[in-house]
């Protein structure tokens, strides 16, 4: 099973730049999207259906043009659940869950704290509540893949000039401490299993892109529970894809084991 995660920075904009053509060529079994910036009736599901994705699920934010997550699949999930069951997060369209046999896929768009102290506090609350949400889920579902934009660089290797960013949301000590603790619960950063090299980013500012500078952040992840480690075949970043200010990340799991 090939699973793509992609912060599209507006699914309508990404579609107009060729997202559907790329999906048709790359053919992931499941694609998880973050930052839809669209309501469900504004998303071109007819085109998605026509390229092989008859099962489309979206969790838009109540606020128009903001946030939102989605999941499309070639095969029908056994179960789909929208949201975390916590109104303040569900209003922002942060989480979708889909079960495929023994595997649960979570598509998540974690909040950014870059706009000020109030949003940073909201982000930290979300991180704590998300940990509880996953902890409770793992009592019933052992094999879990959490795909999405975490809005956090975990390690210094995941960000350009780390010494310059220690006071910036996305690389704050308390955010990285949360990431350490979350991974310690038994989650694997799938990309780093295969690639431990520096300067492997998933987001760049438009200014850096325009100047051709590789000054980015790795904030998009596939975290896999230890119970599913035996299924892990590969993980990679599609750095050549530019339908957004992010690029897609991919993981491949062997579901025959």
Catalogue the active-site residues.
109, 149, 246
- For residue 227, with 0-12 CB atoms within 10 Å meaning exposed, 13-18 middle and 19 or more buried, which class applies? middle
Question: Which DSSP string corresponds to 68-80?
Answer: -EEEEESS--SEE
Nearest to 128 by CA among 143, 145, 111: 111
Q: Is 151 one of the annotated binding-site residues?
A: yes
Nearest to 110 by CA among 98, 125, 99, 97: 125
For residue 230, the 8-state DSSP code is G
Q: Is 230 one of the annotated binding-site residues?
A: no
Q: Is 87 one of the annotated binding-site residues?
A: no
Q: Is 254 one of the annotated binding-site residues?
A: no
For residue 198, the 8-state DSSP code is S
Q: Is 189 one of the annotated binding-site residues?
A: no
Q: Is 35 one of the annotated binding-site residues?
A: yes
Residues making up the binding site: 7, 35, 149, 151, 245-246
Q: Mark the binding-site residues for Mg(2+), compressed into ranges.
A: 7, 35, 149, 151, 245-246
């Amino acid at each position: 099973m090939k699973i793509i995660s992609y912060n599209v920075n507006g699914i309508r904009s990404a579609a107009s730049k060729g997202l559907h053509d790329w999906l048709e060529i790359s053919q992931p079994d499941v694609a998880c999207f973050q930052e839809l910036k669209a309501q469900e009736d504004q998303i071109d599901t007819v085109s998605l259906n026509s390229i092989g994705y008859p099962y489309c699920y979206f969790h838009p934010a109540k606020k128009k043009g903001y946030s939102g997550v989605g999941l499309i699949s070639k095969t029908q999930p056994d179960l789909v659940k929208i949201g975390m069951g916590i109104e303040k997060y569900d209003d922002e369209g942060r989480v979708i869950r889909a079960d495929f046999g023994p595997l649960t896929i979570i598509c998540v768009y974690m909040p950014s704290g870059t706009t000020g102290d109030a949003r940073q506090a909201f982000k930290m609350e979300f991180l704590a509540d998300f940990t509880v949400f996953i902890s409770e889920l793992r009592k019933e579902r052992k094999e879990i893949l959490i795909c999405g934009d975490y809005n956090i660089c975990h390690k210094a290797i995941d960000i350009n000039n780390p010494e310059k960013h220690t006071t910036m949301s996305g690389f704050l000590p308390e955010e990285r401490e949360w990431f350490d603790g979350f991974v310690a619960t038994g989650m694997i950063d799938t990309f780093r299993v295969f690639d431990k090299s520096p300067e492997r980013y998933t987001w760049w500012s438009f200014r850096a892109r325009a100047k051709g500078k590789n000054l980015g952040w790795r904030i998009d992840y596939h975290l896999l529970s230890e119970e599913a480690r035996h299924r892990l075949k590969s993980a990679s970043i599609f750095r050549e894809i530019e339908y957004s200010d992010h690029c897609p990340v991919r993981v491949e799991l062997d579901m025959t084991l």
